[in-house]
A and B are shown apart, each in its own frame.
Chain A
């Protein structure tokens, strides 16, 4: 029984974390799925956003101003990766790694050479906090994160329906065709990277408030969690969610599922030090599922072919 009660008491936290990371995963979705780029900058921006937000707040800034600045800082990081990729011809994956590495030093500078900056929810007005996770109020982080998710999805749905947003989707789908139709592919890629990293930084700002501290290592492995959410969302919900907005929602739910799975595994008694190992394992499995499905489980098609073959006899 203690397993279930333990799990039950941990569930609200897992859902809140999942929703916040879901915002981050939506950022990853923009580069990985829409633009067809693997952008590793996010491992840096997932720390930068929180660092900017927490440091600004401890220096007396309003929480909304701090969040806006975190968003802009993320966009700046995306701009750097974009410039490295488009103006300097560096493959996107490498460009992202370079920015991510550089961001580690920058994050330390933002946090004034400290690896960790704490913020006390008693003294500052935070949007989300771990301590409210089981309270039934509008301050509950699950509620706040859900509202953020809905607003972000609505804005992105609108944006990707505009002529500019369509040009980002077209570039991801077919850059040759996009150039032939007069789309400045380089500009569009930079824009997508900026938008994506802005969102990741925003998620980071929320996450650091939720935990009550910013950490220079907060972004380590972030891309894996982001990809996990994107892929879990796709594997579990692609049959039901076809519309673009619903696909984004699927990504957010994918992150929640990821955190629930991790929570169950931890409650089964696995060591928290093994968390990264478990994460990598979970992501590898979900990445393999679509491949295995295509290769080994052609159930419907196979049985149809067998029936046809019998009829021929």
Chain B
């Protein structure tokens, strides 16, 4: 269970560029929740994910995950609980290292990294199987440098890396926004398969309302650094884009969302 309580975050405090990005955010996720987050630019979606991941500290409030207090842990120590996929396909993988080497790095998330081998032959078998589930043929290119892969392949690989060791929480920060529509659908489909298979608690930020409605069991909308809409269960299942637009009177100037 993820609990965010009374979170505040202001950037550039005390300057003319001061921006309150998160304003008393409260959010609780039950185990197995797959939550999609929508909201306009600057609503605080990515900031929320970055605060959970520890990219920067909160100004006030607390973050608890499955009984652990993450609030003051540095980013690399929180990593053992979290799987993360970023918007930029370049960000989630090491381009100059091989596919199997990247997976081996992810396989050691939360483990001690000592003078043991960086990758073993049993692991290679495991990676081959896992890569085959993506259906992209990457299992035959295990030693290829990740820099040679396309954006979609990289995002699929990052997704695999994020879930290779089952994370307590999967954070997807617009992970299909940089992909063409067809590739984006493929990556989303893989996402859904993995989340369902491992019953992962997931937070997915998206700019696409259709995707936000189609995927997950709960939808939240953020505006000005707080949650303004929270739909779940039956209501979420029957939701349409039109409903969302009408019901919540989304001010079009602020909510630049694609249908």
Contact = CB atoms under 8 A, between A and B. Distances in A.
A179 B97 CA distance: 16
A164 interface: yes
A180 B104 CA distance: 14
Given A167-B105, A185-B76, A180 B84 contact: yes
A179 B82 CA distance: 11
A161 interface: yes
Interface string A220-264: 000000000000000000000000000000000000000000000
Given A164-B115, A166-B101, A170-B105, A181 B79 contact: yes
Given A180-B92, A181-B106, A181-B108, A165 B76 contact: no
Contacts, number: 85
Nearest to A158: B115
Contacts of A170: 94, 97, 105
B75 interface: yes
Interface in A269-288: none
A173 interface: yes
A116 interface: no
Contact of B113 (A161, A180, A183, A185): A183
A37 B105 CA distance: 21
A62 interface: no
Interface residues of B, number: 34
Interface of A: 159, 161-167, 169-170, 173-174, 176-185
Contacts of A174: 90-91, 93-95
A161 B117 contact: yes
B61 interface: no
A162 B115 contact: yes
B184 to A, nearest CB: 21
A182 B93 contact: no
Nearest to A180: B84
24 contacts: A162-B118, A163-B113, A164-B113, A166-B97, A166-B105, A166-B113, A166-B118, A166-B119, A169-B96, A170-B105, A173-B95, A174-B91, A174-B93, A176-B86, A177-B91, A177-B92, A178-B76, A179-B75, A180-B75, A180-B92, A181-B105, A181-B108, A182-B111, A184-B74
A40 B188 CA distance: 46
Contact of A163 (B74, B95, B115): B115
Given A163-B117, A164-B115, A169-B97, 14 more contacts: A162-B114, A162-B115, A163-B113, A163-B115, A163-B118, A166-B113, A166-B119, A177-B94, A178-B76, A179-B75, A179-B76, A182-B108, A182-B109, A184-B74
A81 B161 CA distance: 33
A147 B118 CA distance: 26
A178 B116 CA distance: 18
Contacts of A166: 97, 101, 104-105, 113, 118-119
Contacts of A184: 74, 76
A169 B104 CA distance: 13
Nearest to B53: A180
B95 A181 contact: no
B137 interface: no
B135 interface: no
A167 B53 contact: no
B77 A177 contact: no
B20 interface: no
B95 A183 contact: no
Given A162-B116, A173-B96, A182 B80 contact: yes
Contacts of B110: 182
Q: Which of B94, B96, B117 has the most CB of A within 10 A?
A: B94
B79 A180 contact: yes
Contacts of A163: 104, 108, 111, 113-118
Contacts of B80: 182
Nearest to A169: B97
A174 B101 CA distance: 13
A179 B109 CA distance: 10
B46 to A, nearest CB: 14
Contacts of A164: 113-115
B75 A161 contact: no
A182 B79 CA distance: 5
A86 B68 CA distance: 27
B98 to A, nearest CB: 11
